[in-house]
Amino acid sequence: MNPFLRYSAIYGSLSGAIVIFVLIVGLQFQHQLHFIGTEWFGYLTMLVALTFIFVGVKRYRDVEKGGVIKFFTAFGVGLGIAVVASLIYMLVWEIYLAATHYTFMDSYIDGIIRARKAAGVSGAALAKQIAQLNEMRTEYANPLYRLPMTFLEIFPVGLIVALVSAALIRSSKFLPAAR
């Protein structure tokens, strides 16, 4: 197998599996641990899991390139890992949705409405927000909308990690390979 594809598959699968595992397990405990349901927790989990991009690019530099790599080569490897991680995330999320009978969006919207009511939103303002949320529910039911949206939840984080990793690892002096 081509080394680029091998590194993308291995490190992308590790990243994608870790982030989706933590988020799905987190969904099971979000009522007991309220921070798990927050966006910052989700993106922090993605960032930590996507550190495999850095590890994969460094390993590719050290093993396949003899400790020297150009920025665009490093960025390409990182991007490959990010794409695989995003595809794994998207695929497993679809499996999770199907296994839970697509109830996620209903629970998510109910939680938002409860939070808005608790914040004192009522009347026409609440009705407008509920209408927007119901429109979002309809859009999310369409896989042609949901799949790209799921991919785009994680991919930009992977893109940033790939850029930073390539910028750092292109220098053979940065964390040099053990000899």
Q: For residue range 51-84, what is the model confidence (pLDDT) as tens digits?
A: 999 999 999 999 999 989 999 999 999 999 999 9
Output helix, strand, coil percentages for the chain, rounded to the nearest 5.
80, 0, 20
pTM above threshold 0.85: yes
Rounded CA-CA distance 129/116 in Å is 9
Give yes or no for a contact between 46 and 160, defined as CB atoms under 8 angstroms apart: no
Find the length of the chain. 179
Q: Which two tokens stand for residue 113?
A: 């409405």
pLDDT at site 178:
72
pLDDT beneath 50: ranges in the chain:
none
- The residues spanned by each domain of the chain are 3-100+154-169
